[in-house]
Amino acid sequence: MKDTNTPPASVPSGISVRAVLLGLVLTVLNVLWVTQVEVRYYMLDGSSLPLFITPVFLLLVLVALNGLTHAIMPLRRFVLRQEELLTAYLMAVVSNTFAGHDMLQNLFGQITHPYYFAPQNKWQDVFIERLPKFLFVSDPEALKFWYRGNTPPDIAAGYFVHWSVPLTLWGIFFLLLTFLFVCITVIVRKAWTENEKLAFPIIQLPLLMTEKDGAFFKNGLMWAGFAFAFATGLINGIHQLYPSVPENPWIKLYDVGQYFTTPPFNAIRSYGMQTSLYPFAIGLAYLIPLDLAFSCWFSYLLARAYFVFGRATGLDGPSAGVGWPYLKEISAGAWIGVAASIIYANRKYLANAFEGAFGGKTAEDAESAKENTRYRWAFLGLAFGAVFLLAWSYLLGIAPGTAAAFFGIFFVLSIAITRVRAEFGTPHEIVFVKPADILVTLLGTRAIGDSSLIGMQSMYWFNRGYRCHPMPNFLEGFKMGEGRKMPFAPLLGVFALAAVVSLLTTFGANYFTTYGAGATAKAAGYKWWVGNEAFAQLSGWLQAGQRPAEQSFGFFVGGLIFTAALAYLRQAYVWWPLHPTGFALGVSYAMNYFWFCVFVAWLAKLCITRYGGMDAHKRAVPFFLGLVLGDYTIGALWSLLGLYLGTPTYRVFI
């Protein structure tokens, strides 16, 4: 019998019309889902993780429906191929990078904040008159109903006249940023996906879920991991609704710092230390290489030892410098060091890519010629983008040199995050590392100037955190397309279409959700704190000023030098255990949530590989991926139940 699931020879690509249409449906559904659970009810927080929860659940539903379709003979012609499933999944992933926790949600929390809260913070005399007003919502009545809520959609639509210009300009700006992310990804893609063949741990689950033979879903170990995680989330979720049902309190964040009460160890209590046993985090951490996993949890504990040292020596006492323990500066230096080492290691490849694009060197074969053409367009796109960003910065009142430094730091960090995600798949919540903070630490506020400070803080929303950064997801999408019927150019078109639809849907979803619920009334996850952080910090800079911080600068340089030293030791001595990226991650914000999960996964992987070898490690992978899928599934189901009940339910994260 003919296999009706085999694509006809006339089909050149798995990126079919039906796959794109299905992806558009998932894009809209995912944006609405994420906005409701994260803005309206503040539950799930699935966009804060390197592997997003809602797209994985939507893919699971698609795979289940696809299997059902395959089982019904008359419907077999409608069965989706792996490439089609991945196309729809990737479009949902792109929508998460727009609608998620650290991107356009932050935008709404910032552009409404300064004019509404100016009177109580006395910002009128500090910076309000100097803000680029066209980028903010300033109408008092539109803001009043935005924050109070209970505004019917037809009434809310009437206020859009006050939003149209800010949203249009910010939308164009963010699409341009997305375009630049794609250009950089196109340039580094071949080096990291083909030449170095990085591991890309994050893509393993969606790839296995969509394999044609369905072997992943026939694996008993996978279902064991799935059942454990699902049952844990189910019991804890029932406990939240019915407290008489027992729970497992160790799964979520548990404060172990409370047990350190004797000096100098009580510094751990002061600065915090938590443990968690998130099943999904243990599952994802199992895919991290052993040396990096060790470096992550060890560096986190090393930071606690550093706190104790500070308490023992009096460095954090009454005479301590402002800013102790300077973890923000150390983390910033470490990440700049990681980024510099990545760019330095790829310097020859980047030079060859530029020469291939513009040097007139004849390509060796047709594929190389095609790659050179991609490089050419990508470099030209970067040049166009640089001109746009300088013009945009001029519009915001930022000096050209400051603008170049600001965006240079931002894109360098983006490259570092993308590389780390591709190679290791670790969480990358580096909320400490902001371009404006780094510039103020290095130069001081007077050298930067008030106008540049105001302009940079107006853009605070997209560089506050990097958890749902688009660039790693684009690179992972290109990696998924390798060896499958997902050609490069059509995949770029899919990303572009998903980006535009995601932007418009996210704007609409946030607009009507917040006007209905009220930013400070019932919208529990509205990011008002983003605006507060940005403009409270700006007010402090403008009123008190900040000199080039010699002490802070020293810790910044210390973090950079320590990272460089670790990189040298890693190359000089094969046995050296500490990885520079692990140090940067360990002293950053993300490991506050996950260090103990990484430790548990590291210990499990160490024991499995030592006593069972690599074969045992490979056989165990489905179990740990089952932990991820089971935890994500119950988390998604609880969020859907919460939407149905109109109340927050159990969150599998935080």
- The rounded distance, in Å, linking the Cα atoms of 420 and 413 is 10
User: Residue 12: which of 618, 623, 488 has the closest Cα?
Assistant: 488
The total number of structural domains in the chain stands at 1
Domain containing 275 equals 17-361+375-645
Judge whether residue 588 has pLDDT over 90.
Answer: no
Model confidence pLDDT, tens digit, residues 360-378: 766 677 888 899 999 999 9
Residue 144 placed within a domain = yes
| Other residues' Cβ atoms within 10 Å of the Cβ of residue 267 | 23
Residues 6+ apart with CB under 8 A from 143: 112, 115, 116, 137
* Upper half-sphere CA count for residue 357 (Cβ side, 13 Å): 16
Pair 558, 551: CB distance under 8 Å = no
Confidence label for 547 from pLDDT (cuts 50, 70 and 90)? confident
Cα–Cα distance for residue pair 371/363, rounded to 1 Å: 9
Q: Does residue 10 sit within a domain? A: no
Residue 118 belongs to a domain: yes
Question: 157-175, pLDDT tens digit by residue?
Answer: 999 999 999 999 999 999 9
Backbone φ, ψ for residue 274 (5° rounding):
-130, 155
Whether residue 30 lies inside any domain: the answer is yes
Residue 578 lies in a domain: yes
Is the pLDDT higher at 625 or at 426? 625
CB 194 within 8 A of CB 599: no
Straight-line distance from the first to the last Cα atom of the chain, in angstroms, rounded to the nearest whole number = 51
Q: Is the pLDDT at 9 greater than 60, yes or no?
A: no
CA distance 83 to 199: 20
Q: Would residue 369 count as lying in a domain?
A: no
Residue 1 lies in a domain: no
Share of the chain above pLDDT 70, in %: 96
pTM, to two decimals: 0.95
Q: 359 vs 209, which has greater pLDDT?
A: 209
